[in-house]
Amino acid sequence: MFSGDDTTKKVKVLSGGEKTRLAMIKLLLEPVNLLILDEPTNHLDMKTKDIIKDALRDFDGTLILVSHDRDFLDGLAKKVFEFGNKRVREHFEDIKGFLAYKKMDSLKEIEQS
């Protein structure tokens, strides 16, 4: 999405969005094993969820997974990032450990608090 004079701009004069695009371009030029999934289990039956979960367990790379599906996250997430109140908190535990730390039974409770 860079064209014309934009292709010769110095990085220091790029807007925030342009810098983000440039960073994404740089990432795509490097061979990386990165998979980003946003709510991958929406509208899937249990069998399909299990197939995807098994495939992700075997994935040899970095997985960034956004999901409210606790059962799906169980066994996949090794670290949890909590976004809220204009902050990001990193929790060095799986989803069960995170919920125990929060003294909650489900991820739905986080949305209500």
**What's the pLDDT tens digit per position in 12-69?**
888 877 887 788 778 778 777 888 889 988 888 898 999 999 999 998 888 999 888 8
What's the whole-model pTM score?
0.59
**pLDDT recorded at residue 83:** 84
Section 81-93 average pLDDT: 87
Quickly tell me which residue has 């990193």 as its tokens. Answer: 90
SS (H, E, C) the chain: CCCHHHHHCCHHHCCHHHHHHHHHHHHHHCCCCEEEEECCCCCCCHHHHHHHHHHHHHCCCEEEEECCCHHHHCCCCCCEEEEECCEEEEECCCHHHHHHHHCCCCCHHHHHC
* 33-112: CATH topology: Rossmann fold (3.40.50)
Where do the domains of the chain lie? 1-32, 33-112
109, pLDDT greater than 80: no
Quickly tell me which residue has 């409770």 as its tokens. Answer: 109
Q: How confident is the model at residue 113 (pLDDT cuts 50, 70, 90)?
A: low
